[in-house]
Structure 1
Amino acid sequence: MGRQILRNSLKSLYELQEIDLRIDGLDSEKAQLLSEAQALEAKLADAREKIAARREEARTLEEEKGAMEANLKSEGENITRSEAHLKEIKTQKEYQAVSKEISTAKKLIAELEDQILQKINAIEEINVDVTKKEADLAELEGNVATQKGEVEAKVQSLDSGIAVDVATREQTVKGLPASVMKRYSRLRDQRRGVAVVEAKEGNCMGCNMHLPPQLYNTLFRADDVITCPHCQRILIMKQEVEG
């Protein structure tokens, strides 16, 4: 590879690195925005689930109240029949037994009425809570819609920026040898997205390790693609690629 061709390749690699890092940043920002949108949806889902759970509590209480009211009616009918039966009783023993049944039934009725009242109060409390939660949900839905609109606008803007960079990247890649691109791509995977780094003042700016003087001097000649002996990233002299 000729010196000028190599210098051009290094310059293209440097530009490619800048484009890829910019795309990485945009992709990361987009992922964060999409995550925020998902969090907003999760917040709405949670609020709706809480309302549904409270409504289910109220439904269960209504069923329990209905069963108690049925028992209350049954006990009331039993008392009516027993009181009618009292008039026909001939013996004191039987009269006492029926009277005890009536007394027990009236006690049970009092307990049922108390329990029913507790159910009614609990249902009313839940209904008040559901009404408040529904109002809060309506407000939240409005806020989420606004925030999601802002997020979607930002994502669209990021997508536009990414599309421009991807197009530029495609043109830049065309000017690079396949072997260089293969090495670059492998290093990007291995080194957290950073394959090309500057050599400055005798150091690799990727890993901050000192470079052997002979290797550092070779960078000035641009005779070959030089990599850092410590982190294996491709080294460039910034003044060379910017010149």
Structure 2
Amino acid sequence: MATTKELSVEEKLRALYDLQIIDTRIDEIRNVRGELPLEVEDLEDEVAGLTTRLEKLQSDLVVIEDNIKSKKAAIEEHQAAIKRYTEQQKDVRNNREFNALTKEVEFQELEIQLAEKQIKEMKSSIEHKKEVISNSKEKLEQKSTHLKHKKAELDDIMSETQKEEDFLLQKSAEFEALIEERLLAAYKRIRSSVRNGLAVVSIERGASAGSFFTIPPQTQVEIASRKKIITDEHSGRILVDAMLAEEEREKIEKLFAQIN
């Protein structure tokens, strides 16, 4: 959105200070939420991860149980073969045939032993997986309950503040559109580099707000003249005079009143 006319330095300072007031209020709203949105997101990820893990474990159980059934069926086949070979031994004509059948019987018995060993191992694996599933279900239930409470908490805060934040974000964008790109970039850079997000501050008792460093009288006069953009040499913040700040605070307070 292009501006219809070039703003004077004073108009730029007023627009910057208005933008600062609005952005500070948005910061305050988001601080009320604190880490809740991130907590909810982390819990959602945990719940999704636990759910996927449970599904995988339960799927593994089905596979193991199917394998046990297959092994049991194989054992029955080996037993039937033993019975068949044993019957055939009664009709052999020589020792070579008898010994060959005996080896077949022994082989089938070894196969049965191996299958029984595998079944035992798989049953042990099932017990272990069932224990893991039980623990995972308990953990999932706890996390799901925690997530439900956190979501409700966040929803309550969002319902109270979303309308105001949406309004303020719209106003913030409107004021940004009034400020030239270079100056807006400087404002955002300063804002992101200071702890409290204050890029534009007023002079209070001879010092920049929130600073212990006194502003020289001549600089204070220049700031009050509103003829150029002046920054605090210690903090890098853009400085405005107390009267301008008070006038803009009153104006923006009326803007805030429109929300309710």
Normalised to the residue count of structure 1, the TM-score between the two structures is: 0.75
SS where residue 90 of structure 1 aligns?
coil
Q: Deviations over 1:170-222 (max 9, x none)?
A: 99x5xx994xx3365333223225441234676656898886663333224x2
Query: Shift of the alpha carbon at 1:15?
Result: 4.4
Mapping of residues 150-189 of structure 1, within 5 Å: 150-163=153-166, 165=168, 173=175, 178=178, 181-182=179-180, 185-189=184-188
Question: How far, CA to CA, are the matches of 1:177 and 1:224 in structure 2?
Answer: 21
Q: Does 1:84 align with 2:93?
A: no
AA partner of residue 119 (structure 1)? M
Q: Which runs of 5+ in 1 are unaligned?
A: none
Q: Residue 102 of structure 2 corresponds to which residue in structure 1?
A: 99
Query: Shift of the alpha carbon at 1:148?
Result: 1.0
Question: How far, CA to CA, are the matches of 1:223 and 1:135 in structure 2?
Answer: 65
26, 49, 52: which is aligned to 2:52?
A: 49
Question: How far, CA to CA, are the matches of 2:215 and 2:143 in structure 1?
Answer: 58
Q: Residue 148 of structure 2 corresponds to which residue in structure 1?
A: 145
211, 222, 242: which is aligned to 1:218?
A: 222
Task: Rate the CA distance shift 1:184–1:161 in 2: closer, same or farther, 3 A.
Answer: farther
Question: How far, CA to CA, are the matches of 1:161 and 1:109 in structure 2?
Answer: 74
What is the root-mean-square deviation in Å for CA atoms of aligned residues? 3.7
10, 14, 27: which is aligned to 1:24?
A: 27
Question: How far, CA to CA, are the matches of 2:172 and 2:93 in structure 1?
Answer: 108
Task: Rate the CA distance shift 1:167–1:177 in 2: closer, same or farther, 3 A.
Answer: closer
| Percent identity for Structure 1 against Structure 2 | 21
AA partner of residue 78 (structure 2)? E
User: Contact (CA 8 Å) 1:187, 1:233: kept in 2 or not?
Assistant: no
Count of aligned residue pairs for this structure pair: 233
233, 240, 254: which is aligned to 1:236?
A: 240
User: Contact (CA 8 Å) 1:30, 1:158: kept in 2 or not?
Assistant: no
Normalised to the residue count of structure 2, the TM-score between the two structures is: 0.71
Q: Deviations over 1:130-182 (max 9, x none)?
A: 244334423432332122111111122221332464577699x5xx994xx33
Question: How far, CA to CA, are the matches of 1:167 and 1:90 in structure 2?
Answer: 101
Query: Shift of the alpha carbon at 1:86?
Result: 0.6
Question: How far, CA to CA, are the matches of 2:138 and 2:223 in structure 1?
Answer: 68
